Structure formats: C-alpha cells, structure tokens
C-alpha cells in the first residue's frame, strides 16, 4: 500500500562540491506514515546529510525523494514545503536567545495565516503539550537544557508537521533529562501520530524507535 | 507576537551598536535637514519680501552676474511708471556693511526714498521714519537692533560715519528685520554712485489675467530705449525667478544638496556596515530560521525591516537635532538675520525620505547576502 509510505528515497546520492568524500551513496529507504525510525552510524556516515535531504534543507545530487507521493524535485518552493510538512529538532536546540519560550514557538508561524493572537494561543497550547505551560515567559537562558529542548520540540510542532526530524536531540542532555525527552517523543508518536526520524549515536536511544536504520560510509546497511 | 515585535527585539538586542548606527544616521539627516531647511527658509523669506508687497517684477541692470552690484539711473522709475498696467515702482539701493565692534560681518543696508511705499509694510515699534531732508539718520529692523543692542536715539556707525537711530521697526519679513534702512541720498553719496539705484520693484495693477499682463510688461520694460534710441540695459525678472536665481541662494542650495548627498552616502555606509555585521553574526540563526520554515523572502524582509527601522529612528532623532540646530542658529547674532529658526514640513519629509533611502541602500546588500545563505551551510557554521 503506497499511501502507507510517507517518505521514500530512490537511489539517493549526495556529493559535496568541495571534493569531500561522497556523503550519500544510493540510499533507498521507506518510512511509513506514523512510523518512528532511528538512524544510527558513526560520525561522517551520512546520517545528518540524509536527515537534511529528507527535510528538504538540501537537494540531492541525484536520486529522488518522494514525500506523500510528491517528488521533491518537482517542488519549486522547498521553503514552503518545509514550513508546512516538516519539524526540525536540533542537538543544540537553537532557540533565539532574546525571545521567550512563547515567542520562540511562534517563529515558524509567521509563514502561516494565523493572527498574532492566534499564534500566541497556539504556541501556549503546544508548550502545554511538551509540559512547559509554566515557563511561557522565560527566555532560554532562564531554562534548563531539558526545558530548552522541550521548547524547541514545541517549536518544531508549530505548523503541525506530519514529519518530525530530530538530529541527536538528546546529545547534549544528561541521561535523566534525555529519558524525559525521549518519553516526550514517544508521546508525540503514540498520542499525536507524528512520524519521527531521529538520528542518534546511542543504541539505547535508538531502541526506543520501532525500527533502526544503520549507516556506514554514506550507505544504508541492510538490516 | 507580531513580526514587528520580532524586528524590534532584534534591534534592541544589539543595543549599543543599534544606538551608534541611529546616531550616525541622525547626524547625517540632521545636517541635511538643517541645511536644506535654512536654504528653503532663506528662499521663502526672500520671496515673501516681494510677494507681501505685491511685487511682480524686479528690474535690474541686464547682464549682471551679481545682481546686488547692479546700478541703474533712478530716473528710469518715471519711464516705468508711465507704462500702462504698472501700479507702483519702488526703487532702492542695497549694500552690505560690516559694523565695527559688533561681530556682524554682512549687515544689509537699504537706501530708500523717504516717501517710499516700502515703508508701508513696516510697523514702527519705536520712533519714526526719516524725512526727505534728513541726513545721517537710520531706522533699524528689530533683529538687527537687538543684535547690536541699539535703540531709538542711539547712534550706529556705517561706513565710518555716525548715523542717529530714529526708530526701530518690525517687518512682516524676518529678512527685513535684519536690515538697516537709511536715506537713499546718504547711501548714494557714501557709495559714490550719484543718482543710481540697485533696481526697481514693480507692482502691477489688478487684472483678470495677471500673468499675461506681467509677461507683456516684461517685454515692454526690456524694450525701453533712451533719447537716442538705444535700448536701456534693463532686465525684468518675475519675482520667483529673481529670487531663485540669486547667486547667494544658488550657492547655499548647491551646498546643502551636496551635504545631503554626502549624508546619504555616509548614513548608508553606516547602516550597511551594521547590517552586514549582524547578518554575518547571525549566519547560524538565519539558517535555523530557514530550517524551521522561513522563506527567503521573509529573511529579506527581516533584514530590510531592521535597517529601515534603524534609519527611521535615526531620522526622528536627526530631525529633532536639525530643528534644534536651526533654532539655536537663529539665536546666534551672526546668523539671526538670515535664519528663521523653523523648518518647513516639506524639508522634514525630505529628511524622512533621506532616511528611507539610507535604510534601503544600507539594507539591500545584507538582505541579499542573508537570503543567499543555504540552511545546511548555515547550520554547519557551529
């Protein structure tokens, strides 16, 4: 059933023009709608490159990504696609330091149609989902690292994307905080039906996912 | 949150740098506004000098580059008066003097006939005007009287001779308040010009088509000939032309325009520098914004809005600065006779326009650089 597949990649290759080693070689994968997938592999194995391509941050050198039946190469406005369909969570959170939690979550919403008041309401609701309702008016500097990642996750959910892409989301967290954040991803997967692709180094982190993809030297290893 | 709130927070976040940039733009806009304002005020003041008295034509010697040094025989006034449609002809002699010990370097001295209608527009604050037979007497405008610290009954030294002050007047015109008026016979003698005048101000009779009448008179005046049939060396200029082509005014205007252009260039470079630096510093942040869904267009809008906000803030401060400067200048004796102390709204709008130009010029390139950043490159910039 093709509509059970949310993202598919066909013979995906990526080379960087600066002469570095080929980042991705002939990657073929399928990620089901509502699936929770972890990507593991050593540094430089192409995990982040793959994540960037899946999130339309970058275009492949060759090959194709088909998202929800739509080849990304046919889209002229990748920014818009990204704004509507994908939410990114980063290892170092990347919140804007001068904005409060409530304001940070609203940043992606500027591209949508909500009024300023509706943006604030929606941001407050999302912060409630990630358990940050009590910290709306705090700036990142006043929050613990775990709390910052929660705010960043709320921001990734701002435009209600179908796909959440997370690049080492627990890489900067201690194990207890990491467990809380992973529980939050579980909840988003289970209760909110989000499709999640998470890049990680940790076996224990990856085991939270339904499926683990392993990469080495730009290739996807057969399971 | 509004997008504008976000822009404002970005500006406030780099407080010192934003303040310095605003200050730079403010100085540029302030200087431009003050100079353009002074030139504009000068021109309007000059123009009103004639217009308030209904003067339509200024008659001076043809071919003179510097009109204040024009000399014409005062008897030409009679020829002008006889032309149909002419209501009034007012001759006068003008010179500029230095008044010793006053620090004032170019005080305008007007030589008027004792019965000149030019006096009709003056209101005497104290004393009276002079009679035809009175010599070594003067009346002073209120501004020059104040700057010299003189009043009725005092003496003022002109061309090394003492003149008794008969009265102090208030004119409708700021410019005229900075003048000393003496008997034209005295000034002709002092300048050694016999019975010459600098020129004539011509008031025309009311007519349904005044422009046509003025045009006709212009032709007739310039065609006047002497007894031997030679054409008189006369040039009759419509008042507005006479004012706008005054050499001093042209010089002031040219200077203020050049200053304004320099202000725009310096202001733009300041904003450009600030915005470029802020875009480079925020490379990663801009990458994040792109990654979480911002389009290029919004990044461009963000950078342009920031640079426009900076320069508009600079314009507001600069306009206040320019107003304060002209006001202060109008209090300085040296300049008080020339500077009115207010700036026309049109010039203030010009200051805002300069700021918008500065904001755009300074913001376009940084915005383009920001929009060109690839989100992946920006993210790698850790």
Q: What is the ipTM of this complex?
A: 0.89
pLDDT digits (tens, 9 = 90+) for A112-139: 889 999 999 999 999 999 999 999 999 9
Taking the CA of residue B373 and the nearest CA in chain A, the distance in Å comes to 12
Taking the CA of residue B298 and the nearest CA in chain A, the distance in Å comes to 8
Split at pLDDT 50, 70, 90, the class of A2 is very low
Q: pLDDT tens for chain B, 382 residues: list them.
A: 899 999 999 999 989 999 999 999 999 999 889 888 888 888 888 888 898 899 999 999 988 777 777 889 999 999 999 999 999 999 999 999 988 777 777 889 999 999 999 999 999 999 999 999 999 999 999 989 998 999 999 999 999 999 999 999 999 888 899 899 999 999 999 999 999 999 999 999 998 998 999 999 999 999 999 888 899 999 999 998 888 888 878 888 898 889 889 888 988 999 999 999 999 999 989 999 998 889 999 999 999 999 999 999 999 999 999 999 888 888 876 666 667 778 888 889 999 998 999 999 999 999 999 998 888 876 775 4
Judge whether A118 is closer than 8 Å to chain B, CB to CB.
no
Judge whether B282 is closer than 8 Å to chain A, CB to CB.
no
| Chain B interface, best mutation among A16, A54, A58, A110, by max B CB count within 10 A | A110
Parallel, antiparallel, or unpaired: how do β-strands A24-32 and A5-14 relate?
Answer: antiparallel
A118 and A109 Cβ atoms separated by less than 8 Å: no
Same domain, B201 and B92: yes
pLDDT digits (tens, 9 = 90+) for A45-100: 889 899 999 999 888 999 999 999 999 999 888 888 998 999 999 999 999 999 99
- Measured between beta carbons, the chain B residues lying within 8 angstroms of A82 are 291-293
Same domain, B26 and B88: no
Judge whether A139 is closer than 8 Å to chain B, CB to CB.
no
- Measured between beta carbons, the chain B residues lying within 8 angstroms of A87 are 292
Dihedral sign from CA coordinates of B233, B238, B244, B248: positive
Q: Pick from B232, B260, B293: which residue ends a domain?
A: B232
Same domain, B113 and B183: yes
Judge whether B293 is closer than 8 Å to chain A, CB to CB.
yes
What is the pLDDT, as a whole number, of residue A222?
Answer: 74
- Report yes or no on B239 lying in a domain: no
Residue of B nearest to A158 (CA): B292
What is the pLDDT, as a whole number, of residue B175?
Answer: 84
**With an 8 Å Cβ cutoff, are A119 and B1 in contact?**
yes
What mean pLDDT value characterizes chain A?
A: 92
Angle at B137 between CA B134 and CA B141, to 5 degrees: 130
For residue B257, the number of C-alpha atoms closer than 13 Å in the C-beta half-sphere is 6
**With an 8 Å Cβ cutoff, are A57 and B13 in contact?**
no
Q: How far is CA B66 from CA B63, B70, B89, B231, B247, in A?
A: 9, 7, 22, 21, 7
- Report yes or no on B129 lying in a domain: yes
Asked if the model's pLDDT at residue A143 lies above 90, the reply is yes
The span from the CA of A64 to the CA of B291, in Å, is: 20
What is the pLDDT, as a whole number, of residue B105?
Answer: 74
- Measured between beta carbons, the chain A residues lying within 8 angstroms of B12 are 98
Q: How far is CA B25 from CA A49, B77, B306, B307, in A?
A: 44, 53, 14, 11
Q: Beta-carbon neighbour count of residue A190 at 10 Å?
A: 11
Q: Pick from B232, B259, B286: which residue ends a domain?
A: B232
- Report yes or no on B288 lying in a domain: yes
Asked if the model's pLDDT at residue A1 lies above 50, the reply is no
The span from the CA of B95 to the CA of B198, in Å, is: 9
B143 and B336 Cβ atoms separated by less than 8 Å: yes
Q: E strands within B53-103? A: 55-61, 72-73, 86-99
- Report yes or no on B78 lying in a domain: yes
Which two three-digit tokens encode residue A164? 């959440």
Q: What percent of chain A has pLDDT over 90?
A: 78
Which two three-digit tokens encode residue B349? 């709008």
Which parts of B130-246 fold into alpha helices (H)? 142-148, 184-191, 210-222, 239-244
Same domain, B123 and B214: yes
Total domains present in chain B: 2
**With an 8 Å Cβ cutoff, are A99 and B9 in contact?**
yes
Domain range for B134 is 64-232
**With an 8 Å Cβ cutoff, are B382 and A156 in contact?**
no
**Closest to B277 (Cα-Cα) out of B370, B376, B359:** B370
Same domain, B253 and B196: no
Residue of A nearest to B12 (CA): A98
pLDDT digits (tens, 9 = 90+) for A6-58: 999 999 999 887 766 678 999 999 999 999 999 999 888 889 899 999 999 88
- Report yes or no on B240 lying in a domain: no
Q: Residue A220 forms beta bridges with which residues? A: A215
What CATH architecture applies to the domain A2-218? 3-Layer(aba) Sandwich (3.40)
Same domain, B36 and B77: no
Q: Pick from B232, B262, B279: which residue ends a domain?
A: B232
Same domain, B224 and B252: no
Same domain, B203 and B285: no
């Amino acid at each position: 059933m093709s509509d059970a597949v949310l993202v598919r990649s066909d013979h995906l290759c990526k080379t960087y023009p600066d002469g570095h080693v080929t980042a991705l070689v002939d990657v073929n994968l399928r990620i089901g709608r509502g699936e929770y997938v972890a990507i593991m592999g050593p540094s430089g194995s192409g995990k982040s490159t793959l994540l960037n391509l899946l999130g339309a941050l970058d275009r492949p050198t060759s090959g194709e990504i088909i998202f929800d039946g739509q080849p990304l190469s046919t889209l002229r406005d990748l920014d818009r696609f990204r704004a509507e369909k994908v939410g990114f969570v980063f290892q170092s959170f990347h919140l804007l330091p001068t904005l409060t939690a409530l304001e940070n979550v609203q940043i992606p919403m500027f591209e949508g149609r909500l009024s300023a008041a509706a943006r604030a309401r929606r941001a407050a609701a999302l912060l409630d989902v990630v358990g940050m309702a009590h910290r709306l008016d705090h700036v990142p500097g006043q929050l613990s690292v775990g709390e910052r990642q929660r705010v960043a996750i709320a921001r990734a959910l701002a435009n209600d994307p179908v796909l959440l892409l997370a690049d080492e989301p627990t890489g900067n967290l201690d194990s207890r905080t990491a467990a809380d954040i992973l529980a939050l991803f579980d909840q988003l997967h289970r209760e909110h039906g989000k499709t999640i692709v998470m890049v990680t180094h940790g076996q224990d982190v990856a085991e939270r996912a339904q499926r683990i993809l392993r990469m080495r030297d730009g290739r996807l290893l057969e399971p | 949150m509004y997008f504008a709130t976000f822009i404002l927070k970005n500006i406030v976040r780099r407080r010192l740098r934003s303040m310095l940039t605003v200050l730079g733009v403010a100085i540029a806009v302030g200087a431009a506004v003050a100079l353009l304002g002074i030139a504009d005020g000068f021109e309007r003041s000059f123009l009103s000098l004639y217009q308030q008295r209904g003067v339509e034509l200024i008659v001076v010697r043809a071919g003179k580059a510097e009109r204040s040094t024009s000399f014409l025989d005062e008897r030409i006034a009679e020829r002008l008066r006889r032309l149909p449609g002419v209501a009034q002809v007012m001759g006068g002699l003008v010179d500029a003097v230095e008044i010793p010990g006053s620090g004032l370097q170019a005080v305008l001295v007007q030589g008027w006939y004792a019965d000149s209608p030019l006096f009709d527009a003056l209101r005497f604050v104290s004393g009276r005007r002079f009679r035809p037979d009175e010599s070594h007497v003067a009346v002073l405008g209120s501004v020059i009287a104040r700057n010299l610290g003189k009043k009725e009954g005092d003496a003022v030294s002109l061309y090394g001779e003492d003149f008794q002050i008969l009265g102090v007047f208030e004119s409708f015109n700021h410019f005229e308040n900075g003048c000393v008026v003496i008997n034209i016979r005295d000034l002709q003698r002092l300048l050694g010009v016999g019975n010459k005048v600098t020129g004539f101000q011509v008031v025309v009779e009311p007519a349904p088509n005044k422009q046509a009448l003025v045009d006709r008179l212009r032709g007739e005046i310039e065609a006047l000939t002497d007894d031997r049939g030679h054409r008189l060396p006369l040039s009759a200029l419509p008042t507005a032309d006479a004012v706008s082509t005054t050499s001093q005014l042209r010089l002031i205007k040219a200077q203020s325009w050049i200053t304004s252009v320099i202000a725009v260039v310096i202001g733009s470079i300041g904003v450009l520098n600030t915005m470029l630096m802020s875009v480079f510093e925020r490379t990663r942040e801009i990458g994040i914004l792109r990654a979480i869904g911002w389009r290029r267009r919004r990044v461009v809008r963000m950078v342009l809005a920031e640079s426009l906000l900076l320069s508009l803030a600079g314009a507001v401060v600069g306009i206040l600065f320019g107003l304060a400067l002209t006001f202060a200048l109008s209090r300085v004796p040296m300049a008080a006779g020339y500077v009115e102390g207010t700036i026309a709204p049109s010039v203030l709008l010009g200051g805002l326009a300069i700021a918008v130009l500065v904001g755009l010029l300074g913001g376009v390139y940084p915005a383009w650089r920001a929009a060109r950043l690839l989100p992946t490159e920006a993210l790698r910039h850790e």
